[in-house]
A and B are shown apart, each in its own frame.
Chain A
Amino acid sequence: MKIKQISVFLENKKGRLWKALNTLGEGGINIRALSIADTSEFGILRLIVPDSEKAKKLLEENNFVVKTKDVIAVELSDQPGGLSTVLKMLNDSDINLEYLYAFVHEKKDKAIVIMRTDDLDTLIDTLKEGGASLVPPEEVYNL
């Protein structure tokens, strides 16, 4: 159920995000989901792509620092309260999220949330027990 996500270090400087995305674009890599965490000095670009190995290699060849991390994806009904239901499960089990980001799955009219914690296995178990629906990696890569 674990999904490969790549994170890219970006200096907070004009054109850096473009450069990273352009590198992927030219390499024929389609981005499935994306989020940026930023501070005043730097940002971290998090991406989910079909072929994370290839994307990582391409970016590294262009002098970016890249890390691959496992994350999980949860499907929510795209309506009020969808996300809070899932977060309550984590709250009740005392799980602290490192980060999350969400996007809408157009084909199924569902929202998908990407989550990351230190201990992904516990997270997966908790979500399963709570009845949340995890999205398999293949489905996310092929959104």
Chain B
Amino acid sequence: MIWNEEAECMSRDDLEELQLKRLQDVVKRAYENVPYYRKKFKDMGLSPEDIQSLEDIEKLPFTTKDDLRQVYPFGMFAVPRREIIEIHTSSGTTGKPVVSGYTKQDIELWSEVMARGLTMMGINEEDIIQNTHGYGLFTGGFGVHYGAQKLGATVIPISTGQTRRQIEIMDDFGTSVMIFTPSYGLYLSEVAEEEGFDAKNSQLKAIGFGAEMWTNEMRQEIEKRFGAPAFNMYGLTEIIGPGVAVECKEQDGLHVAEDHFYPEIIDSETTKKLGAGDTGELVLTTLSRVGMPIIRFRTKDITALRYDGCECGRTLVKMDRITGRSDDMLKVRGVAVFPSQIEKALLKIDGVEPHYQIIVTRPQRLDELEVQVETSPQLFSDEIKEMVGIKKKIESYIENEIGLRVNVTLVEPKSLPRSEGKAVRVIDKRNLH
């Protein structure tokens, strides 16, 4: 089934006409209502009338996460604050969070694109959706929730954690759809096994994945354990949240809700626009969002766009599963981590040298973060208990900064690789690509 056949199966010509109309409109709204954009356009000698074709989008400036942070908290709102009915933020792990404001219409838009996505996974109003995404400032929980309600399915807003209770509810309520991050899914399946719940032969018919990078092997493992197909969902708080792109039954790429979010792929070094099928950084423009229009947002996510059509009948472009980042952001257990945060934590401790290396592994099912820190004469004590205390102290400083438990290993001075130019700070052994 297709939720909105008119929008999702539109001819390319009609779609481009609609996109251009909406692009001109959003540029005008941004120019007129957001001082940040007005200034930026003026500095570049641009006016909304310069957008006469979709190709003209390349004339427009990019928006980065830093830009959004600079106008914290409400500087990107294009409507009076009283028209904003809901606020979400990014995790704020790299400084001030990015605030995302939604008008009533925006929530409606979000519900619509997420309802489309759930429908792509074969979900309908008969289903019981157990949403383990966190409810709160994080967009993951509410995005799925709004989509499920729009669809008319029964949603269980259980949020993350309480793993045993999750299993109990799956069993008692006859959950037919699970929404989780792949690593939490694997953990759930282990607990299910311990509890004697046969996930494989449960009533599950679909799984929605969000917020984490994963491999095809991971998907197969999850599908095997739960006996249900798993679909990828993509979204960003800056743009709206989950629902920007979702995978259909073909499980071969995610349909971007192009009528609302205009995708481009650029070379992240030169910022030149790349062609269909080329791999590069995804850039998104919100075409219809009212509360907070975002022009050419650099997602830093690496993917490719494919315009070859789809067996499912939808004509909307498909993007590949995200295979990497153009910056040094890591997703560890679903949480965004930047090496700079770890550096910041280390610099708060006397005697710690800012020489460190981050090693991410996935020994069993969950990501593990190891931070190697060089010992200095100031840190070193000849007593084991003191040294263990220092290790614990560094671990707690880092945990405070990034919100994740890490394992700190003290290494000898000058033993970590030094490199000219950009230091290799991160070794990701998870093999996610």
Could you list which residues of chain A lie within 8 angstroms of chain B, going by C-beta atoms? Answer: 5, 7, 9-11, 16, 37, 39, 41-42, 44, 46, 63-67, 69, 98-99
Contact = CB atoms under 8 A, between A and B. Distances in A.
24 contacts: A5-B382, A7-B382, A9-B375, A9-B380, A9-B387, A10-B412, A11-B410, A11-B411, A37-B384, A41-B409, A42-B387, A44-B383, A63-B412, A64-B412, A64-B413, A65-B375, A65-B376, A65-B412, A65-B413, A67-B377, A67-B380, A67-B381, A67-B382, A69-B382
Nearest to B374: A65
Contacts of B376: 65
Contacts of A65: 375-377, 379-380, 412-413
Interface residues of B, number: 19
A65 B383 CA distance: 13
B169 interface: no
Contacts of B415: 11, 63
Contacts of B377: 65-67
Given A9-B375, A42-B387, A44-B387, A63 B382 contact: no
A83 B413 CA distance: 37
Contacts, number: 51
B423 interface: no
Contacts of A11: 410-412, 415
Contacts of B391: 41
A42 B381 contact: no
A11 B384 CA distance: 13
Interface in B366-397: 375-377, 379-384, 387-388, 391
Given A65-B413, A66-B377, A39 B383 contact: no
Contact of A99 (B383, B387, B410, B413): B383
A63 B349 CA distance: 21
Contact of B383 (A16, A42, A66, A98): A98
B42 interface: no
Contacts of A98: 383
Contact of B382 (A16, A39, A46): A46
Nearest to B384: A37
Given A7-B380, A11-B412, A98-B383, 13 more contacts: A9-B412, A11-B411, A16-B412, A37-B384, A41-B391, A42-B387, A42-B410, A44-B384, A63-B414, A65-B375, A67-B377, A67-B382, A99-B383
